[in-house]
Amino acid sequence: MYPRVCSSMLAPSGKAAAAAAAAASRIMAAARGRRLYSSASAAESDNIEPIRGLDLGVAHSKLLLRTVASVRASDELRAAGVAEGETRKMNMCQAVNDAMRHALATDETSVVFGEDVAFGGVFRCSVGLADDFGRERIFNTPLTEQGIAGFAIGMAAMGHTAIAEIQFADYIFPAFDQIVNEAAKYRYRSGNQFDVGGLTIRTPCSAVGHGAHYHSQSPEAFFAHVPGLKVLMPRSPIQAKGLLLAAIRDRNPTIVFEPKILYRSAVEQVPIDDYELPLSKAEILKPGADVTVVGYGSQIYALENAIQMIERDMPGVTCELIDLRTILPYDADTVAASVNKTGRLVVAHEAPRTQGFAAELAAEIQERCFLRLESPIQRVCGLFIPHPLVYERFYMPCAVRTYEAIKSSLSY
């Protein structure tokens, strides 16, 4: 199994090392260089159990609203008042850009800044904003994440809407003190006389297939431990636009982690009008009766594939898929209601398993749903190692590992 191969790689010795190396070679040969969470053709992995020809990844996802009709049918977009309006085909990068455009156009105190954002940023999320709104509102900063965060806190404290970009989530740690000890505590320590509610920090996160140690991390759990912050991670262009606008306008400092692998790969028909999606509200993407499966961000697509395999291989079983969306404060009520119905829970995220956010959710649901649980709560997460390069496929909580966790939960 994948987890056993991965665990053996941490400290191989003797026969265990040889067995792990042989198993890894077989799997890698079968995969023939393809990442199991990618959107490449399934033809390359027909002989890998339990995939057997299933089209994997975001490119084949049924969760994306790719047609105008699917937008019209969305209850959430109807509630936001934009389901019947004009849409435009956008990837997630373009949707983020569109959200910032609306924020800048409707709030003259809003500013966007960070490393290289004036020319569009390394992922081009801010392209064209400086031309349209001026370089006094869209500007570059020195290469200092602590300085970016501190400057953003100062601007927000003076009444501005500060939209700061940390170029990669892996480099947010120099800003940790400013975010945790200043931004998160500003309102509390002043007895609500002052606040930095106009602060939003955007940052690209998570695996991209070639980022290795310093361009692949998912550090959301570090900030989910901090009272005074809001933390979220969208899964798609429509979600990114609505959640980012809600974050910018929310009167609390907010961090928006954006899975960078979705910037180009996730494409939807996005309403062009201004709209917000609710923070701290999970979304049930697929109803089911036998097991609850929870994730957020790009991990949602691995969970979708795992559910497809389970429901194919176990006729009659249905899985409920929930996108948490907001990680702090998270929607425990929706998850608990689902688990009280299904009796089982599988939680997945890319960050390492040890002390990851899945542990918090598992503990909360165990307290709320203990008498209704039919099996131990399962966690499917990244391995407890630095994010690897050549072995990234073994690190990832892919569809196969999630499939095994759901199967284990159902057969307990």
pLDDT exceeds cutoff 90 at 321: yes
Per-residue pLDDT tens digits for 336-360: 999 999 999 999 999 999 999 999 9
Query: Considering the entire predicted model, what is its pTM?
Result: 0.88
Q: Contact, 152 vs 108, CB < 8 A?
A: no
Instruction: Quote the pLDDT of residue 129.
Output: 98
Q: Contact, 57 vs 235, CB < 8 A?
A: no
Pick left, alpha or beta for residue 212 (phi over 0 → left; psi -120 to 50 → alpha; otherwise beta).
Answer: left
> HSE of 276 in the Cβ direction (CA atoms, 13 Å)?
11
pLDDT exceeds cutoff 50 at 35: no
Least confident of 24-33, 115-124, 196-205: 24-33
Instruction: Quote the pLDDT of residue 15.
Output: 54
Instruction: Quote the pLDDT of residue 51.
Output: 86
Instruction: Quote the pLDDT of residue 18.
Output: 54
Share of the chain above pLDDT 90, in %: 85
pLDDT exceeds cutoff 70 at 335: yes
pLDDT exceeds cutoff 90 at 79: yes
Share of the chain above pLDDT 70, in %: 88
pLDDT band per the 50, 70, 90 thresholds, residue 44: very low
User: Which are the contacts of 192, defined by CB distance < 8 A and separation ≥ 6?
Assistant: none
123-129-131-133 Cα dihedral, nearest 10 degrees: -160
Question: Which letter does DSSP use for residue 345 in this model?
Answer: E
pLDDT: which is higher, 10 or 225: 225
Question: Which letter does DSSP use for residue 59 in this model?
Answer: G
pLDDT band per the 50, 70, 90 thresholds, residue 332: very high
Phi, psi of 394, rounded to the nearest 5 degrees: -80, -30
Least confident of 33-37, 62-66, 179-183: 33-37
Instruction: Quote the pLDDT of residue 52.
Output: 85
Q: Contact, 6 vs 395, CB < 8 A?
A: yes
Per-residue pLDDT tens digits for 233-267: 999 999 999 999 999 999 999 999 999 999 999 99
Per-residue pLDDT tens digits for 147-166: 999 999 999 999 999 999 99
pLDDT band per the 50, 70, 90 thresholds, residue 111: very high
Strands (E), 177-218: 199-205
Per-residue pLDDT tens digits for 7-28: 333 444 455 445 544 544 544 4
Tracing tokens 């036998």 back to the chain, one arrives at 290
Average pLDDT, the chain: 90
Catalytic residues: 145, 215
